[in-house]
């Protein structure tokens, strides 16, 4: 029976009991969602700790029960024991073991500790966490304040409140969820939205080890997006460490905190083994017998001696090497901020060349490593990541990094035009077109001639089919930058999207004259020639581009040209290269759909065609969720479902796309194909007639194999003749 309660609003303790067994006493601590109190167990005559939630909603109660059940599954002595689940005035609570001593946060506040003591602590935590990981649980919030050192020196692990069970079947990362944990101790992949996993626990424990031996965490002066940017983009090998620290300990810290999860030790057991190997190698003493649990525990006096020997060896040579490495003066690599920015911008101008974006990212990261609050570097880095996402990648990681960097740039300087451009690019990818245009208008208000802002705004307006507005901005850009091939390309795109293929061809040829080694212009020119049924010229243009540089886009266009000529086997081979990891992009939905189209007409490959359509549908689905009003995505998704005879899914998409873009020839052509595939001949004829009316090339209609029967239809021939 509940007699009294805690005033959770003020934190003032009201003497009372929890049920009839637990009497609350003083408060031990408080977090955002809960308070922890000392309580007296009246039946067993002992002190316990009670974790009491501040609210009592169903979600909070289930979360607390989840925490208690997870913690109860762990048997290692380092984990806090759970005694009971109770309520106090309707507020859920966990009754648990009270752990005496001090947190590692309190220990670190007294200054750095010796490496021997730090490694003993890390070994104990790794031993316990190895058991948790083996049972499929991760902690997700390892940090000094969640690690308690008892008076006898033993380490206890607190707060499994955000732990979760790993899903061995999960193959894709969910980037829509918010990362849970403490940002200062999160691994880079967590900051990018991935769920906590064993490798992120290893990263956090590496940060704890770093903090134990240095007395401070890396990037201690940073917070918010600046801290996130430093974690995601920074190089942990640059974190300063004591010059007298044994090189193998330095190596262990660097490995545990590697930015790439694959570069970290593979398990908590592997961390313990690295320490053990050092003990065995340097001390020449066999390890002691295993404990009954099957784990090995070092004699830490021996480790201290080993560290001393390592330090002595370092002082005799290894240490001199390490100190020299840390203090040597680089030559070419140590560039000024201005030089890094200049070289990064030049690399961005060559974004479609192999290695150019990598080069740009290296330069912008170098600025942010030295100056984490540099808004321009963060904005440029965001734009580079956006180009990575939009090019031969489509990896959600790039988009997430672009978003983080754009937010950092705006946070540091909201009067920087480039920061608003970076934000606009990200908003556009998320389907927030009006917000993107508003950001670009603000950028152009701050800098009317900013080429990145002009480029982004023209692209956005063309994609929205707001051609008159796009032309006004384009004319201004070409007046200001008449020899910039990006704006010349955009002029060609503007004509192409309105079915003026001859004018598009002229613009793309001009772009090649201005910059002959830009392969995208060859792909664009090829597309314009295809739409004019000049197939041999189109193939010749592609070969010129491929001689300059292999490109997934060029291989995709090559497949399209061969398909138009009826060479379906050759088209399939080209599309297979376009979706390959080595020469193209396996995450591009359109290339998988094109591959499927070709495979349908290759004998014996019909099953492979259906698998490719299914792949295209899976890849386009998240893009359509993000941009549900995108008519291209909508009409293509409907067509791919029609290819798989999924009529109930396909028809609504086709109808919706036609309603949104009643004058778009490509949308009408896809609708005609979808209707024909689904057996709706009259609707297919109506859509195809409109596609021709709005400028879809007659030659491409005549070479489409799925429309052979429709073209023979008397009703279609009659309507075509009349028109």
User: At 157, phi and psi to the nearest 5?
Assistant: -105, 120
Q: How far from chain centre, in Å, is Cα 86?
A: 40
Q: How far from chain centre, in Å, is Cα 348?
A: 21
| Gap between the Cα atoms of 257 and 252, Å rounded | 9
| Gap between the Cα atoms of 67 and 115, Å rounded | 33
Quick one: which of 602, 653, 599 has its CA closest to 631? 653
Rg (CA), the chain: 31
Quick one: which of 54, 53, 22 has its CA closest to 38? 22
Query: In terms of C-beta density within 10 A (0-12 exposed, 13-18 middle, 19 or more buried), how is residue 562 classed?
Result: buried
Is 471 annotated in some ligand binding site? Answer: no
Helix axes 417-429, 375-390, angle to 10 degrees: 30
Active site (catalytic) residues: 141
Count CA atoms closer than 13 A to 220's CA, side-chain side: 9
Quick one: which of 209, 266, 194, 260 has its CA closest to 239? 209
Quick one: which of 431, 480, 434 has its CA closest to 455? 480
Handedness of CA 638, 639, 640, 646 (dihedral sign): positive
Quick one: which of 448, 386, 458 has its CA closest to 417? 448
User: At 584, phi and psi to the nearest 5?
Assistant: -145, -135
User: At 26, phi and psi to the nearest 5?
Assistant: -80, 160
Residues listed for the chain: 723
Token pair in block for residue 379? 């904005």
Quick one: which of 412, 500, 478, 401 has its CA closest to 222? 412
Q: How far from chain centre, in Å, is Cα 144?
A: 27
Handedness of CA 691, 694, 698, 700 (dihedral sign): negative
| Gap between the Cα atoms of 173 and 655, Å rounded | 32
Quick one: which of 122, 162, 173 has its CA closest to 622? 173
Handedness of CA 228, 230, 235, 237 (dihedral sign): negative
Residues 6+ apart with CB under 8 A from 426: 382, 386, 399, 402, 403, 406
Q: Which residues are annotated as a binding site for ATP?
A: 51
Q: Which residues are annotated as a binding site?
A: 51
């Amino acid at each position: 029976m509940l007699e009294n309660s805690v005033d959770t609003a003020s934190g003032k303790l009201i003497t009372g009991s929890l049920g009839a067994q637990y009497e609350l006493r003083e408060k031990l601590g408080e977090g955002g969602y809960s308070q922890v109190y000392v309580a007296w167990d009246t039946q067993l005559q002992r002190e316990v700790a009670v974790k009491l939630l501040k609210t009592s909603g169903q979600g909070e109660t289930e979360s607390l029960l989840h925490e208690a059940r997870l913690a109860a599954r762990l048997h290692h002595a380092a984990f806090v024991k759970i005694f009971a689940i109770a309520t106090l005035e309707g507020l859920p609570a966990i009754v648990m073991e009270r752990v005496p001593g001090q947190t590692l946060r309190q220990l670190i506040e007294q200054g750095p500790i010796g490496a021997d003591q730090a490694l003993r602590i890390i070994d104990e935590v790794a031993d316990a966490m190895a058991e948790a990981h083996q049972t499929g649980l991760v902690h997700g919030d390892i940090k000094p304040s969640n690690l308690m050192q008892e008076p006898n020196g033993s380490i206890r692990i607190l707060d499994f409140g955000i732990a979760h069970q790993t899903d061995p079947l999960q193959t894709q990362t969910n980037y829509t969820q918010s990362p849970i944990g403490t940002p200062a101790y999160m691994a880079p992949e967590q900051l990018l939205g991935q769920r906590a996993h064993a490798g992120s626990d290893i990263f956090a424990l590496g940060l704890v080890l770093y903090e134990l031996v240095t007395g401070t965490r890396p990037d201690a002066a940073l917070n918010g997006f600046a801290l996130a940017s430093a974690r995601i983009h920074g190089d942990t090998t640059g974190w300063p460490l004591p010059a007298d620290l044994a090189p193998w300990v330095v190596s262990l810290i660097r490995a545990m905190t590697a930015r790439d999860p694959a570069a970290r030790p593979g398990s908590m057991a592997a961390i313990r083994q690295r320490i053990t190997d050092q003990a065995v190698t340097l001390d020449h003493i066999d390890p002691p017998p295993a404990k009954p649990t099957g784990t090995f525990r070092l004699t830490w006096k021996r480790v201290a001696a080993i560290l001393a020997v390592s330090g002595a060896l370092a002082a005799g040579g290894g240490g001199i090497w390490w100190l020299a490495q840390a203090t040597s003066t680089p030559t070419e690599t140590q560039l000024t901020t201005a030089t890094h920015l200049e070289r990064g911008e030049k690399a961005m101008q060559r974004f479609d060349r192999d290695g150019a974006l990598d080069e740009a990212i290296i330069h912008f990261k170098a600025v942010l490593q030295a100056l984490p609050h540099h808004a321009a570097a963060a904005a440029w880095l965001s734009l580079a990541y956006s180009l990575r996402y939009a090019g031969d990648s489509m990896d959600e990681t790039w988009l997430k990094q672009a978003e983080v960097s754009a937010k950092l740039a705006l946070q540091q300087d909201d009067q920087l035009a480039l920061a608003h451009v970076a934000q606009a690019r990200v908003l556009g990818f998320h389907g927030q077109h009006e917000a993107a245009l508003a950001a670009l208008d603000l950028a152009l208000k701050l800098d009317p001639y900013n080429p990145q802002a002009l480029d982004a705004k023209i692209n956005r307006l063309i994609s929205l089919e707001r051609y008159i507005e796009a032309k006004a901005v384009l004319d201004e850009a070409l007046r200001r930058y008449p020899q910039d091939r990006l704006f010349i390309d955009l002029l060609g795109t503007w004509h192409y999207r309105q079915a003026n293929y001859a004018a598009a061809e002229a613009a793309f040829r001009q772009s090649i004259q201005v910059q002959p080694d830009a392969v995208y212009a060859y792909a664009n020119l090829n597309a314009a020639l295809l739409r004019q049924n000049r197939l041999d010229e189109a193939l010749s243009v592609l070969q010129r581009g491929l001689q300059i540089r292999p490109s997934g886009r060029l291989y995709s266009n090559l497949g399209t040209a061969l398909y138009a000529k009826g060479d379906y086997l050759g088209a399939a081979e080209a599309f297979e290269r376009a979706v390959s990891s080595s020469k193209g992009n396996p995450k591009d939905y359109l290339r998988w759909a094109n591959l499927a189209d070709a495979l349908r007409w290759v004998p014996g490959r019909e099953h492979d065609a259906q698998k490719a359509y299914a792949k295209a549908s899976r890849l386009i689905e998240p893009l359509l969720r993000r941009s549900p009003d995108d008519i291209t995505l909508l009409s293509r998704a409907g067509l791919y479902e029609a290819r798989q005879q999924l009529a109930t899914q396909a028809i609504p998409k086709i109808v919706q796309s036609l309603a949104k873009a009643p004058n778009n020839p490509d949308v009408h052509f896809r609708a005609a194909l979808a209707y024909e595939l689904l057996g709706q001949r009259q609707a297919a004829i109506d859509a195809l007639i409109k596609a021709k009316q709005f400028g879809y090339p007659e030659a491409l209609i005549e070479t489409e194999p799925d429309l052979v029967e429709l073209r023979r239809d008397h009703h279609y021939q009659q309507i075509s003749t009349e028109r």
